[in-house]
Amino acid sequence: MIIGIPKEIKNHEYRVGLTPGNVAEFVHHGHSVLVEHDAGDAIGFSNESYIEAGASIVDDPAQIYAKADMIIKVKEPQPNECKMLRKGQLLFTYLHLAPDPLQTKLLLESGCTAIAYEMVTDKNGRLPLLTPMSEVAGRLSVQAGAHCLEKAQGGSGVLLGGVPGVKSAKVVVIGGGVVGLNAIRMAIGMEAHVTVLDKSLDRLRELDDYFGPKLNCIYATKDNLEKYVQEADLVIGAVLVPGAAAPKLVTREMIKNMKKGSVVVDVAIDQGGCFETSRPTTHQNPTYVVDGVVHYCVANMPGAVARTSTVALNNATLPFALQLANKGYKKAIVENVHLEHGLSVHNGMLTSLPVAEALNIPYVNPLEALNSKGQAFVA
């Protein structure tokens, strides 16, 4: 199989689909790898290192899309990339389709087969390809929030951990999953006063057992959300409904009642965001202000630490990507239910139920789609 690794083109996105080490794994299994010129150069993976691993360097990304059987990326394809995809070609990357009708439409029109990292599962029902980036984003969320609290960044001028004689800041984490856990760990490490809100009592018990009296564990009712968000210096949205649009848990009215100079960091922005006032931003222009509250809503947060993120992601994706390459995507998906869960688009058909429900597009069961001749997408 010919594997194509294009350079990421999203704003300030320096991650890359394969490291040189993982390229060597594909070559070892008898596959050819095409890597776009300087695809990983920004994070220390030179063209020479890819050549040494057995890859061929290609100057024009259009050549990669034209020749490759499987495209491995990090971020969702941008519109011009979608238009280079073709029927029978496999795309393996993060997609986040539920809040993105344009990308969904373009992928369906292309006729390609697309598997979303964020929907692939494991035997425990977890999301192993989303987890490493959730870990990074959770830790970064506190780092970014602490920076935004600085007066020069528009914040209230509060140091997250305070100093002797001065109280620490109040951090509220909405959601106790992977993102929330890592945000909590960082915030407690910086000596902030931390509260987590979650609807799962079992998860709250786990977090309470893990962090003890350092963490305030609160059941997430609307009343509790209003109370704790209003008092917070920093609120981190760490909510995930796999594949679906994030619920808008924090209303515009709650934002309005926060202290001026407070900060919200919406880690759920890839899935549409969990604050009513959220809209995607970039690393180039990461923040904006609504009702005196600083909003940090960067849609590719882990891209800020691109080298760490790339290696962590490659560690998780390699076994799945090799299965797809070694067996071909149809056999791999039929034999591995976890890859089946990730199948989002095939030959003009939408095969992800949460996305179909979010965008009101007809849904086709993944295995039925693989065994059919496809259908034309109707906008």
Would you please indicate which residues are annotated as catalytic (active-site) residues? 96, 270
**Cα(7)–Cα(5) distance, integer angstroms:** 7
Q: Are 197 and 228 in contact (CB under 8 A)?
A: yes
Report the phi/psi class of residue 272: left, alpha or beta, with left for phi > 0 and alpha for psi in -120 to 50: left
SS3 content of the chain, % helix, strand, coil (to 5): 45, 20, 40
Residues forming beta bridges with residue 163, ordered by sequence position: 166
**Dihedral (Cα; 75, 22, 183, 213), 10-degree rounding:** 160
DSSP 169: P
From the list 47, 38, 31, 52, the residue with the least C-alpha distance to 6 is: 38
